[in-house]
Amino acid sequence: MSTAPWTGHVTPGGPTAVRVLDEVELRKASVGPMDNNAYLLTCRRDGAQLLVDAAADPDRLLALVREGDASARLDLVVTTHRHRDHVGALASVVAVTGARTAAGADDADAITEATGVPVGRRLHDGDLLVVGHVTLEVVALRGHTPGSVALAYREPEHTHVPGAAPGRVHLLTGDSLFPGGVGRTTTPQDFTSLYDDVVARVFDRFDDETWVYPGHGRDTTLGAERPHLAQWRARGW
């Protein structure tokens, strides 16, 4: 399938958006009736690949995997949370590729119950995932579901440049953070949990240049969203 320049905008049946970074190629595609975003990260040094959310349309996702590596190598599938619109193609993708699986510890059993796929690694806040030569940090964001996780990839620092700033962070947030607010919650307690985690574990840790890749829709940055945190807290969603 052809690719388009990176805009962060994708549509079901449309082309993949591709972003080439120093260490990794990041591909974004939309699948299924719920317009879910799926992300493929490909290590540029050895071709190792990680898929975030095998949400729907296994044929499209397998084509996405082949865009990153023609041999259809897939090392790991990370599921950001348990909701059915994020796991619909998990069984098919794993069966074809033999990829390992990972998900938040508190969502793992529900994912297995829904898909029949055992979760090989149960993730906790601060865990590190290594795929090829690429390392991502797990950020637990509790509230949309108990075991929701985000993944943070930091571009390498340019240590040869005196005074260079730390590398930019790319944050894949599932349904926990979107342009305009945190993800949907069903109780005030869940909202408080999610809001508090998003503030403490995302906005308090990462700078405004951090790029946010959500589970649906367009991208954003922390800089674009930070001025609205108090408004989110006051409205309760």
pLDDT at residue 157 in the model: 77
pTM over 0.75: yes
pLDDT at residue 42 in the model: 98
pLDDT at residue 81 in the model: 98
pLDDT at residue 2 in the model: 46
Provide mean pLDDT across the span 38-48: 97
Res. 162: pLDDT tops 80: no
pLDDT band at 166 (very low <50, low <70, confident <90, very high): confident
Q: Which domain holds residue 194?
A: 3-235
pLDDT band at 1 (very low <50, low <70, confident <90, very high): very low
pLDDT in tens, 174-222: 999 999 999 999 999 999 999 999 999 999 999 999 999 999 999 999 9
Mean pLDDT of the chain: 94
CATH number, domain of 203, equals: 3.60.15.10
d(CA 19, CA 5): 8
pLDDT in tens, 59-103: 999 999 999 999 999 999 999 999 999 999 999 999 999 999 999
pLDDT in tens, 5-19: 667 899 999 999 999
Domains in the chain, number: 1
Res. 109: pLDDT tops 80: yes
pLDDT band at 163 (very low <50, low <70, confident <90, very high): low
